[in-house]
């Protein structure tokens, strides 16, 4: 965008919305500006993702009125600082508008913001008309920092005023490929301890925005170098320096960070120094898997973004379970189960939704299961059935977490033949999952009433256990109809035992 020239790009949905807002606010003679991300993104020739409006009025009252007139939902974000949100949902997508208030001049308001690249404003009326550079209010040199690809704090106290900005600096640098200015990086180190006081829901929002981006693994490393990663997840500190058996190249924390980078690499989100074209050629990544991982789980999260968090935390249970057996071999027995319990508590603290927690908890709990499906050859139908019975839709996610775990364990010492075998197994399980639906959901040939009536049994948990045994026998081809199923149940009862569930062997 050149100075004095107007942006002649076609009107977008965001532009139409801003026009409506201008009608609403100007009709009430309210001084208003588009600030922050929208202006920054337009200067970067990016499609704006955020709409932030600063009003010289009570932001809560304005947002409430907009929500009512625009048939949206009002959300009070910060009562103390008078910040509110309006969510407009047309059934296909949701527009989010954040309102904040100022009482002096807009320049004074911008000087209280976080980074220079966001301390920008344009009068709402000028946005409607297609703004040029001369319309941009820039008291901190934000335009120059955008040109120089720099993240710079507006002033020394920005993190003291709002500590979530510590995470936001890293996320913005990763999102735009910018460099954090050295003075700002020093401020992050100085004020890093404040991250402990940030409300969990705000950390969750930044984490999900970070993991939605490629190279989240690199951003996790930057957070660790700045002392922020274990501020978010204090439990990770116990993993630092914890040695592992010889088949592992790195200690537990380094392995966990490498697992995120390896995962992103095999999912096609960039290179990792320890992989090559030959390594990636064997990964069974398909459009079906991509669509599965792109599925939305909760507000702001997808399966893929949650899987990156699972990769970071998958071995969180190792420090507390480390032991040596009678031969002197290092073991981490039960670390997956222990880690799942830890992860659930950590994510509850950060206000993740129950659906999000379930996905990550399941991935951590079962991250070793794929390699336990078979000792020789390919897994049986019974083993595959049990795997998806216990993991549900997250079973597909776990297959790729398991591959990333393999890469991050061996690092530069990867055995390519072992890697090929691992991918062949994963591909086999994926194909079975989609080609043989009756393996995952076998059709019901008898029900609990049939068992009770035919065998004279009373209702109780044992009926459910018997039905589960029938389903396993179905998928393994032992029985095919009602008569065979009832005969099978009689044999199971006579033998006095039921098939055991999979053990957590680790």
Phi, psi of 350 (to 5 degrees): -90, 10
Scanning 366-393, the segments in alpha helix (DSSP H) are 381-391
Q: Is 107 buried (19+), middle (13-18) or exposed (0-12) by CB count in 10 A?
A: middle
What is the Cα–Cα distance from 188 to 193, expressed in whole angstroms? 9
Q: Would you state the pLDDT for residue 506?
A: 43
* Contact present, 17 and 48 (Cβ < 8 Å): no
Question: Distance (Å, rounded) from C-alpha 88 to C-alpha 70?
Answer: 7
CATH number of 1-143: 3.30.460.10
Are 307 and 400 within 8 A, CB to CB? yes
CB-count exposure of residue 377 (10 Å: 0-12, 13-18, 19+) = exposed
Query: Would you list the DSSP string of 325-354?
Result: -TT--EE-TTHHHHHHHHHHHHHHHTT--H
The whole-number pLDDT of residue 10 equals: 35
CA distance 15 to 491: 70
Angle between helices 381-391 and 416-435 (to 10 degrees): 80
Phi, psi of 122 (to 5 degrees): -140, 135
| Apex 360 CA angle, 355 and 365, nearest 5 | 125
Q: Domain 149-232 is of which CATH architecture?
A: Orthogonal Bundle (1.10)
For residue 283, give Cα distances in angstroms to 83, 288, 290, 426: 46, 14, 13, 9
Q: What is the pLDDT along the chain (506 residues), one digit of tens a residue?
A: 545 444 444 346 788 889 999 999 999 999 999 999 999 999 998 888 779 999 999 999 999 999 999 999 999 888 878 899 998 876 445 688 999 999 999 999 999 999 999 999 999 999 887 788 889 999 999 999 999 999 999 999 999 999 999 999 999 999 999 999 999 999 999 999 999 989 999 899 999 999 999 999 999 999 999 999 999 999 999 999 999 998 899 999 999 999 999 999 999 998 888 887 889 999 999 999 999 999 999 877 999 999 999 999 999 999 999 999 988 899 999 999 999 999 999 999 999 999 999 999 999 999 999 999 987 789 999 999 999 999 999 999 999 999 999 999 999 999 999 999 999 999 999 999 998 777 888 888 888 888 888 878 888 888 888 888 888 888 888 888 888 888 888 888 888 766 555 444 44
d(CA 18, CA 156): 33
Q: Checking DSSP bridges between strand 121-123 and strand 73-78, what pairing results, if any? A: unpaired
DSSP one-letter code for 135: G
Q: What residue has token string 């031969």?
A: 327
CB 124 within 8 A of CB 32: yes
């Amino acid at each position: 965008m050149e100075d004095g020239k107007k942006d002649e790009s076609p009107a977008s949905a965001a532009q139409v919305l801003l026009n409506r807002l201008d009608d609403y606010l100007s009709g009430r003679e309210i001084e208003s500006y588009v600030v922050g991300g929208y202006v920054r993104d337009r200067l970067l020739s990016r499609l704006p993702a955020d709409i932030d409006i600063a009003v010289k009025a009570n932001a809560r009252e304005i947002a409430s009125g907009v929500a009512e007139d625009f048939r949206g939902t009002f959300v009070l974000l910060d009562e103390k600082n008078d910040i509110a949100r309006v969510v407009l949902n047309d059934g296909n997508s949701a527009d989010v508008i954040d309102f904040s208030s100022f009482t002096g001049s807009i320049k004074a308001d911008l000087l209280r913001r976080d980074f220079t690249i966001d301390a920008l404003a344009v009068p709402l009326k000028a946005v409607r008309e297609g703004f040029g550079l001369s319309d941009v209010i820039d008291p901190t040199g934000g335009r120059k920092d955008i040109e120089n690809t720099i993240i710079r704090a507006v002033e020394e106290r920005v993190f003291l005023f709002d500590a979530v900005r510590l995470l936001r600096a890293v996320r913005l640098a990763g999102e735009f490929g910018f460099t954090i200015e050295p003075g700002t990086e020093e401020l992050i180190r100085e004020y890093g301890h404040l991250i402990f006081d940030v409300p969990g829901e705000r950390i969750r929002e930044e984490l999900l925005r970070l993991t939605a981006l490629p190279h989240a693994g690199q951003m996790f490393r930057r957070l660790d170098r700045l002392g922020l990663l274990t501020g978010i997840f204090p439990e990770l500190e116990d993993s630092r320096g914890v040695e592992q058996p010889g088949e592992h190249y790195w200690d537990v924390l380094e392995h966990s960070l490498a697992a995120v980078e390896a995962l992103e690499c095999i999912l096609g989100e960039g290179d990792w120094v320890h992989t090559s074209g030959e390594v990636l050629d064997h990964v069974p990544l398909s459009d079906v898997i991509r669509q599965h991982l792109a599925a939305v789980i909760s507000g702001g999260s997808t399966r893929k973004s949650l899987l990156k968090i699972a990769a970071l935390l998958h071995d969180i249970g190792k420090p507390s379970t480390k032991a040596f057996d009678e031969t002197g071999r290092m073991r981490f027995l039960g670390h997956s189960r222990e880690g799942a319990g830890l992860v659930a508590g950590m994510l509850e603290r950060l206000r993740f939704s129950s659906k999000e927690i379930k996905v990550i908890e399941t991935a951590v709990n079962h991250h070793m299961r794929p390699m336990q499906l078979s000792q020789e050859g390919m897994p049986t139908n019974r083993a595959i059935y049990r795997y998806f019975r216990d993991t549900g839709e997250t079973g597909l996610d776990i297959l790729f977490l398991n591959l990333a775990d393999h890469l991050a364990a061996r690092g530069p010492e990867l055995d390519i033949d072992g890697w090929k075998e691992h991918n062949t197994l994963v591909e086999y399980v994926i194909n079975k999952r989609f080609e043989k639906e009756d393996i995952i959901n076998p059709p019901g040939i008898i029900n609990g009433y049939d068992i009770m009536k035919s065998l004279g049994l009373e209702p109780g948990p044992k009926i459910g256990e018997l039905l589960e045994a029938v389903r396993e026998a179905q998928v393994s081809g032992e029985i095919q109809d009602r008569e065979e199923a009832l005969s099978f149940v009689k044999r199971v009862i006579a033998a006095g035992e039921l098939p055991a569930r999979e053990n957590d062997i680790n």
